[in-house]
Each structure stands twice: as C-alpha cells, then as structure tokens.
Amino acid sequence: MLFISGAIGGAINGAFHTYATAFVFQNVFSIGAFEPVGYYLIGIVVSMAMGLILTILFGYQDKKEVAANEQVTVNITENEKNMDQSEVSASPVVPILKKEVLLSPLTGEVKSLTEVPDPAFAEGAMGKGIAIVPTVGQVLSPVNGTVGTVLKSGHAVILMSENGGEILIHVGINTVQLKGQHFTPRVKAGDQVKQGDLLIDFDLEKIKEAGYNPITPIIISNTADYLDVIETTNSLVTAQDKLLTLVV
C-alpha cells in the first residue's frame, strides 16, 4: 500500500515535470524548494490520500501483534499435543465460585451486626450476617429449604437452605424472656418452605412496649463453609429484597 500510493504521487509529479531547485532532504520545510510547487503539493496530497484509502480498504497488521498471536497458537497446539485427550473429554467444567442469594425476611432498617446490643451477635461469635430493625411484624423465609428449629418461645427460627446455608433469624434482644408472648410461629421443625413463606407473626408494638429492642440479627451459622458473606448496601429493605450473598 505504501509503494502503490508513493508511485501514484510520483507519477503525478513526473507528469507535471516538478523538480528540485536545490539539494534538500524531503520534509515539510523543503516544499518551497520544488517547482512548480502547486503540482508538487497535489502529488503529495494524492499520495497521502491513497495511502489512507488503501489502509481503510485492506486493513493493517501490527507485526508484533501477529508474532504474539502466532506464538500463542504454537503454545496452545503444543499443550494440546501433550494432553491426554481422554482427560480433556472426561474433565467436567467446574465453576470457580458459587453464590447463594438470601432475601430479606423482614421489612425495616438495615444495621450492621456491630450495632446489635448483644456481644454474642455484635462480635460475630455466632457467625457473619446482618441485622434489621423491623417495621412490620412478620418474618418471611429468605430461602427455599427446611425448618430446622423453631424455639419454644417463638422468637427465633433456624433454617437450612437447599443449597447448604444455615440461617438463624432471632427477633429482638432478650425476647426469650417474653416466654412466647406476642410471638406466633407459623411453621414447625421439618417443614419445607419456599422464599416468601410466612415463618413467624409477632406484635411489634407490644414487644417494644414491654421494653425489648426488636432489632433482629440474621446470622449465617455455618459461616466457616463460605469464602465470604456479602451484605446489602441498602439502608432500608422490604421483605424479599436481596439481603445477603453467600460465596462458596
């Protein structure tokens, strides 16, 4: 493409008999040394334009890029030669990470566990998680799974998700002392539940009137089984909004 465009520019200069009036190296500062200068400029412009047009039409390859691609191809070919084909066909595709999303069991204000006024929760001794200050007196299932335990006092439930998560939902702090007052469990141990199923009804106002903090920790009891437990960044949630992501 360079030779073609240069040849066309040279042909134009030759046709119009342009010549140098002094011995100079060709560059932008030496244009005035050529006569007739108008035809000389026409030859240069046409040559540059043809180079651009031919490059657009036929493309351009970087030698370094071509060499790198050829080396990658060679490496891949060599690796394939050295690999047992039976192992290639038999090896399953295993994802690097798996995720399980837990939906919010409550509607309310999201809090960090460190804000829960109980060291067992605040210091993470029971596992990672999040807390919600509820504004509605209902606990809904955050996962598809099985009910493991419903405490006698009705203020807490443990679920096992179908993907292996163990979730503790504990309504209020020290609410075990209410001995079941103001709590109505809607499931029992062994029940199969779906996301959004009602687990517990509770009278939020009566609990607060009795002097108990209704902040509710949602704990992943088997935190050690996960690479990470990622909390929502929202400050407010509605029941069944995305709340926690468990990364395996």
Query: Given this model, what pLDDT does residue 15 score?
Result: 75
Give the position of tokens 């690999």.
Answer: 83
* The token pair that represents 223 in the structure block: 């935190």
pLDDT digits (tens, 9 = 90+) for 190-223: 999 999 999 999 999 999 999 999 999 999 999 9
Query: Given this model, what pLDDT does residue 188 score?
Result: 97
Are 217 and 117 within one domain? Answer: yes
Q: Which of the residues 17, 155, 170, 182 is marked catalytic? A: 170
Q: How many residues does the chain have?
A: 248
Phi, psi (rounded to 5 degrees) for 33: -85, 5
pLDDT digits (tens, 9 = 90+) for 125-161: 999 999 999 999 999 999 999 999 999 999 999 999 9
Are 77 and 105 within one domain? Answer: no
**For the residues of 89-105, what is the DSSP string, one character each?**
HH-----S--EEEEEPS
Are 31 and 75 within one domain? Answer: yes
Query: Given this model, what pLDDT does residue 34 score?
Result: 62
Query: Given this model, what pLDDT does residue 55 score?
Result: 66
Task: State the total domains in the chain.
Answer: 2
Are 63 and 144 within one domain? Answer: no
Are 10 and 115 within one domain? Answer: no
* The token pair that represents 235 in the structure block: 């400050």
Are 225 and 125 within one domain? Answer: yes
CB 225 within 8 A of CB 215: no
- Is 170 annotated in the active site? yes
Query: Given this model, what pLDDT does residue 88 score?
Result: 43
Are 108 and 223 within one domain? Answer: yes
Last residue of a domain, one of 94, 119, 149: 94
For residue 236, the domain's CATH number is 2.70.70.10
Residue partners of 242: CB distance under 8 A and separation at least 6: 101, 102, 103, 104, 232
Last residue of a domain, one of 94, 109, 132: 94
Residues of the chain with pLDDT under 70: 1-10, 13, 17-35, 37, 39-40, 43-44, 46-47, 49-52, 54-96
Q: In this structure, which amino acid lies at residue 205?
A: E
Q: Quote the domain boundaries for residue 67.
A: 1-94
Are 159 and 240 within one domain? Answer: yes
Are 139 and 236 within one domain? Answer: yes
Last residue of a domain, one of 94, 126, 145: 94
Angle 186-189-195 from CA coordinates, rounded to 5°: 60
Are 78 and 178 within one domain? Answer: no
Are 135 and 53 within one domain? Answer: no
Are 27 and 84 within one domain? Answer: yes
* The token pair that represents 197 in the structure block: 């199923």
